[in-house]
Structure formats: C-alpha cells, structure tokens
C-alpha cells in the first residue's frame, strides 16, 4: 500500500500571526514538503491544479519535474489534473515528458475542478463538465497508446494523423486515477477503463465515500477488469497531530476555525465526528485511518492533506516527521495484516511495464502456436 | 400516509407554528396521515452548516429524508422584509442542493404569518414561485394569518378549505404511479459506452 500527501497549494494567512506567505515562499514550501515526504519514507506527493488566487500551483508538471530532479523514490502525482479545461493533447505531452525525466515515477489523477469561472476562462462550459471529462479522457487515453491518431469530437478541434510526443516512457502510459467527491459518473468512468478511483474523503461523511467506492468496485468487476476487491482505490484524509491530543486540538483550532473551505462552519469537534478529519495523537490518527478500510475495503493508496489553512512550513514538516516515523510504519504493518491475497498493490511504472511485457510474451506465444498450426 | 409540517416560526409560542398546527390538524383529520413537524429554529445551525460543509449534518439529513418521503407538505413562514424568512428559504435551498427532486410532484400547502394583512400577497408573490421552481404541486388556497386574524372571523374557513385541498391532492396523487421513490444516482448509472457514444459526432 502507498502512503503520501496531497497539497491544494493555497496561500492563506497564518491566523495566529496574520502573516501571508508570498507566492514564492508558498511554492518553495510545497517543494520542501515534497522533499520531506521522501525523506520520512512516504511514497507519493501530489499537487493540486488551480488557476485563481489564492492558489499557486497552476503548472503541476513544472513543479513535479523540479521535484523529480531532487528525489529518488517519490512517486509524483496530481490532485487533480483538470481533464475538463486542459487540452488533452497537452496533458498527454506534459505527463509523458515528466515520465521520462522522472524515470517513470509519475502517475496522474484526473478531476473536473471545483471553480466555476475556470471553465469560461479556458473557453469551456461548466454545464458540459461531465461530458468534457468523458470526451477529453477518451482522447488522452488513445494519445498515450496510439500513434497517428485520427480523432473528431465535440469539444476540441479534430486531429488527423497526430502523434503526441514524447511517447510514454517504455510505451507505458502513466497510471491514471479518477478523482471525484460526488459524481457517480466518474466512478463509472474509472471502472470502465480499469483505472484507479480516488475519493478525497475530506469534506464528506464516510457513508458517502462508501457508496462511491462500492459503485466503482462493482462496475470495475462489471467491465471485466477483475473482482470488486481487485479494483484500485485511493482515499484522502486530513490530520493534525501532536503527541498529546489536547495539544493537537489547541494548536489546530485557530487554523480550523477560519480555514478557507470549512471555516466559520461547524465546530472542530462536530467536523471530526462527521468527516474523516482527525486532530489528536498519532495513535488516534492510526485508529481512524485503519477504520477507512471498514467502508472502502482493502485499498491501495492513502494520501493525507497536511499543508493548508495557513499552517507554517515548520509545523507541516513536524507533522510529516510524525507521519513518517510514528504513523505510516504502523499503518503499513496493520493494513498488510488480513489483506486478502488477491488485492493488488497500487500500479507503478515498473508493474505496468512488467504487465505489458507479459502481454507481449503471451501474444508472441500465441503467434508461435498459430504458426505451428499453419505449418 | 405521511404529512410533514415545516414551520419557520422563531418565538415560542409562535403564531407561525399555531397556523401550521391548525393546517396540519385539518389535513390529518381528512387523510389519517401521520404528522411530523420540523421546527426550523431547532435546525438553524445545521442549515447554515450545510452551506459551509456541502452536506447536511445528521439531524437535518433526517428532516430532508422525511420531506422527501412525505405524501404532503405544509410549509409556513413568518414574513420578513416583504418575503419568506431567510431561514425558511435556506432550508429549501439546502434541501434542493442535497436532493433536487425532493419536492417534485409533491402536494405542498403554503402558509404565512405577519403583523399586518398588507403582506398577504407574499403567498403568491414569493412562496408560490419558490415551490413552483421546486416542482411541487402547490395547493390553490394558501393561508395568510395577520395578527388581527387571530381575533377575527374567516381564518378558520380559509384553513379548512386549504386543508381540504391538500388532503384531496394527497389522496388523489398517492396512487401507484407516484414518481417516488426518489431517484438515486448510485442505482441509475448510465453505462459508460452510452455516455461516450452520445458525444460521438454524427456520421
């Protein structure tokens, strides 16, 4: 199972000091956080994509390319890449390029975005959100697998004989996750392709996440990719830890109370009861995270949101130390227990490449057999 | 048969609740419906949290489910600034973002209270369009009660007429071809090929 962090990339004043970091400071902080993730033994760093203040990460592959050069093991991903408003041709090119630079340590999470005006800013219509996700991804999927693509659709200029470059590393497309909080259509899309499904699991009650994941698992099996238990599921989560849980609550409350997304709403206590947010000791985080399996089944990837709401970099790095040293090692051990044999690991470039070579070998054997029959 | 009463009165006792109860008694007497009263004052914080969180907290989700499953609804609001109260509107806003078809095809009796009869057209200028937008079947007679009506003749007649109309719609519309149970997008997945094919250019 993979563990990692995902960042929204918000530039938010620290409510305890009133100080707002500059964009440069925030961008550099995201990089420092990614490097720290590798240092403490996490597997994945994912960045959001936004095109409006107060967010900085408008250009994820630029940032991930830089991080790739400064890391050895970390898988670089997104949370999410806007499949609706980006040109699928450019996504195909950017992520294939990143694959080469990062020696395959790349996957990507598709999402529709949650900011209405982004659609018109990029010449799109938000009412077509689902259809854009469907059509754009269908094209992207082909561009990574075929050369000389002829294509015609509703939302983009047609292509005749188009080959996106560079070709994916070793001819293997980056693994794709489809992220959605509330649209069953996207769970269905992920299932259709046999791709991964990611639920951000942050703002919504567990019961809702459960229904989305169940639908994806059922439809994954329906499309013949394996059993429901073999579907590739990722979950988000949100934690703030101190060794003593009272200290965690005391320190996080001022950030929670005015946080951009849920601030000025329910109390910290209500929110932790109703959603997967955990504020407390590493042990409490371990217990709550292990319980995700009760409603999502055995899953492949757990990402935590750690750097948001104006938390200072120093605090976030301390959080990552706790996560890497005290939480994730226990989670790895506990999640491995009772994990049914058929449940796969999250796909990586190496595993996808091995799978592709095996398919080729089987095809060759098939050809040889046919030759034999003819002879 | 289930009747849900939504009352947006704020004081205790409240004349809004009093009107709501009289309408409920009149309707229940004609339908033998089981009555559930939802006092929005008790859910005010949860309603606000639905806007900040994106999902209704459990007590409000329970109220939404009751509305969605009801055979008829009585909705009564005090008049604030020439319209329904903000809390009343917020309840139905939060309901429709959670379950956009919760009121579709459902008989709804509208009522309002105010300090003066000068606001009585609030029923037809504010409440009726709101429920028309929410695809409800709004009972022809709405009931407005000004302070002076509680000491005058006529309110009981209007209450009875409105209750009779709601009861008739509830029994008449509660046949086998009701649009309920409500649509559940998790159980009605459009197969992906169909979604993809719909985008394919013709020819």
Residues of B in Cβ contact (< 8 Å) with A266: 49, 52-53, 57
On the question of pLDDT at B36 being above 70, the answer is: yes
Please give the average per-residue pLDDT across A52-71, as a whole number: 97
B175 touches chain A (CB under 8 A): no
pLDDT band (50, 70, 90) for residue A264: confident
On the question of pLDDT at A367 being above 90, the answer is: no
Burial grade of A342 (CB within 10 A; 0-12, 13-18, 19 or more): exposed
Contact B201 A211 (CB under 8 A): no
- The whole-angstrom distance between residue B2's C-alpha and the CA centroid of its chain comes to 13
Closest CA to A25 of A373, A329, A310, A269: A310
Q: How far apart are CA A288 and CA A308, in angstroms?
A: 20
Residue at A364 is within a domain: no
Q: Rounded to a whole number, what is the distance in Å from the CA of B54 to chain A's nearest CA?
A: 8
For A79, the domain range is 2-345
Q: Is the dihedral of CA A60, A63, A64, A65 positive or negative?
A: positive
Please give the average per-residue pLDDT across A248-262, as a whole number: 92
Please give the average per-residue pLDDT across A180-201, as a whole number: 95
- Among A70-79, A130-139, A179-188, B104-113, the least confident range: A179-188
Residue at A68 is within a domain: yes
pLDDT band (50, 70, 90) for residue B180: low
Q: How far apart are CA A11 and CA B156, in angstroms?
A: 60
Q: Residue A177 sits in a domain of what CATH number?
A: 3.20.20.30
B186 touches chain A (CB under 8 A): yes
On the question of pLDDT at A332 being above 50, the answer is: yes
On the question of pLDDT at A333 being above 80, the answer is: yes
For A87-116, the pLDDT digits (tens) are 999 999 999 999 999 999 999 999 998 788
Beta-bridge partners for A196: A177
Residue at A130 is within a domain: yes
- pLDDT top residue among A303 and A202: A303
Q: Helix, strand or coil for residue B134?
A: coil
Residue at A354 is within a domain: no
Q: Rounded to a whole number, what is the distance in Å from the CA of A211 to chain B's nearest CA?
A: 8
A203 touches chain B (CB under 8 A): yes
Retrieve residue A77's tokens: 């991903």
CATH homologous superfamily for the domain B2-199:
Flavodoxin domain (3.40.50.360)
Instruction: Output the average pLDDT for chain B.
Output: 92
On the question of pLDDT at B189 being above 90, the answer is: no
Residue at A357 is within a domain: no
State the pairing for strand pair A175-179/A159-162.
unpaired
Q: Helix, strand or coil for residue B189?
A: coil
Query: What pLDDT is stored for residue A114 in this prediction?
Result: 77
Query: What pLDDT is stored for residue B79 in this prediction?
Result: 97
Residues of B in Cβ contact (< 8 Å) with A238: none
Of A53-67, A105-119, A259-273, which one has max mean pLDDT? A53-67
Query: What pLDDT is stored for residue B175 in this prediction?
Result: 45
Share of chain B above pLDDT 70, in %: 93
For A345-365, the pLDDT digits (tens) are 999 999 999 999 888 777 777
pLDDT band (50, 70, 90) for residue B173: low
On the question of pLDDT at B203 being above 70, the answer is: no
On the question of pLDDT at A166 being above 80, the answer is: yes
- pLDDT top residue among B193 and A35: A35
Residue at A373 is within a domain: no
On the question of pLDDT at A64 being above 70, the answer is: yes
Query: What pLDDT is stored for residue A338 in this prediction?
Result: 87
Q: Which of B52, B64, B183, B188 to mutate to test the interface with A (most CBs of A within 10 A)?
A: B52
pLDDT band (50, 70, 90) for residue B176: very low
Residue at A48 is within a domain: yes
Closest CA to A106 of A155, A62, A44: A44
- Among A202-206, B114-118, B139-143, the least confident range: A202-206
Contact B57 A185 (CB under 8 A): no
Please give the average per-residue pLDDT across A62-90, as a whole number: 98
Q: How far apart are CA A365 and CA A69, in angstroms?
A: 40
Please give the average per-residue pLDDT across B30-58, as a whole number: 94
Residue at A157 is within a domain: yes
Count of the separate structural domains present in chain A: 1
Query: What pLDDT is stored for residue B183 in this prediction?
Result: 54
Q: How far apart are CA B118 and CA B150, in angstroms?
A: 15
Q: How far apart are CA A369 and CA B188, in angstroms?
A: 45
Q: How far apart are CA A183 and CA A367, in angstroms?
A: 43
Looking at residue A268, the DSSP 8-state letter turns out to be H
Please give the average per-residue pLDDT across A167-178, as a whole number: 98
Instruction: Output the average pLDDT for chain A.
Output: 94
Query: What pLDDT is stored for residue A372 in this prediction?
Result: 60
Contact A46, A303 (CB under 8 A): yes
Query: What pLDDT is stored for residue A369 in this prediction?
Result: 67
């Amino acid at each position: 199972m993979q563990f990692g962090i995902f960042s929204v990339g918000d530039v938010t004043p620290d409510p305890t000091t009133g100080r707002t970091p500059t964009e440069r400071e925030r961008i550099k902080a995201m990089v420092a956080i990614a490097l720290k993730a590798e240092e403490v033994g996490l597997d994945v760093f994912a960045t959001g994509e936004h095109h409006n203040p107060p967010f900085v990460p408008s250009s994820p592959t630029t940032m991930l390319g830089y991080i790739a050069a400064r890391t050895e093991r970390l898988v670089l991903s997104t949370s999410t890449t806007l499949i609706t408003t980006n040109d699928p041709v450019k996504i195909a090119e950017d992520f294939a390029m990143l694959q080469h630079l990062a020696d395959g340590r790349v996957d990507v999470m598709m999402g529709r975005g949650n900011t209405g005006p982004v659609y018109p800013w990029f010449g799109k219509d938000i009412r077509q959100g689902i259809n854009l996700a469907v059509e754009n991804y269908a094209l992207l999927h082909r561009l990574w697998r075929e050369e000389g693509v002829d294509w015609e659709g509703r939302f983009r200029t047609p292509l005749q004989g188009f080959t996106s470059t560079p070709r994916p590393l070793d001819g293997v497309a980056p693994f794709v996750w489809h992220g959605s909080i509330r649209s069953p259509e996207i769970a269905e899309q992920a299932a259709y392709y046999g791709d991964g499904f990611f639920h951000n699991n942050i703002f919504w009650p567990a019961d809702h996440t459960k229904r989305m994941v169940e639908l994806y698992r059922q439809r994954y099996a329906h499309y013949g990719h394996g059993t429901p238990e073999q579907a590739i599921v990722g979950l988000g989560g949100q934690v703030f830890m101190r060794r003593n849980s009272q200290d965690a609550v005391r320190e996080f409350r001022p950030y929670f109370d005015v946080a951009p997304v849920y601030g000025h709403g329910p109390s910290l206590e209500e929110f932790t009861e109703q959603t997967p947010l955990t504020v407390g000791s590493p042990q409490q985080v371990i217990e709550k995270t292990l319980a995700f399996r009760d409603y999502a089944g055995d899953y492949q990837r757990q990402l935590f949101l750690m750097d948001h709401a104006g938390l200072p970099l120093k605090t976030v790095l301390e959080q990552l130390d706790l996560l890497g040293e005290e939480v994730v090692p226990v989670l790895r051990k506990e999640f491995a227990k009772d994990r049914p044999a058929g449940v796969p690991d999250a796909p990586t470039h190496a595993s996808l490449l091995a799978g592709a070579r095996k398919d080729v070998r089987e095809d060759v054997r098939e050809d040889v057999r046919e030759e034999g029959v003819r002879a | 048969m289930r009747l849900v009463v939504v009352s947006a009165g704020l004081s205790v006792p409240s004349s809004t609740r009093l009107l709501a109860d009289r309408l409920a008694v009149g309707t229940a007497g004609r339908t033998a419906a089981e009555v559930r009263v939802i006092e929005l004052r008790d859910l005010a914080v949860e309603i606000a949290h639905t806007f900040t969180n994106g999902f209704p907290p459990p007590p409000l989700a329970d109220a939404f489910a009751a509305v969605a499953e009801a055979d008829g609804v009585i909705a009564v609001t005090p008049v604030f600034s020439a319209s329904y109260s903000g809390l009343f509107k917020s309840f139905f806003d939060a309901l429709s973002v959670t379950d956009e078809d919760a009121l579709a095809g459902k008989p709804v009796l509208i009522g309002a209270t105010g300090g003066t009869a000068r606001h009585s057209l609030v029923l037809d200028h504010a409440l009726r369009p709101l429920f028309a937008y929410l695809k409800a079947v709004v009972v022809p007679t709405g009931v407005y009660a000004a302070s002076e009506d509680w000491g005058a003749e006529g309110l009981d007649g209007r209450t009875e007429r409105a209750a009779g109309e709601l009861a008739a719609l509830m029994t008449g519309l509660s046949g086998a071809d009701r649009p309920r149970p409500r649509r559940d997008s998790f159980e009605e997945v459009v197969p992906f090929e169909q979604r993809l094919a719909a985008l394919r250019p013709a020819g």
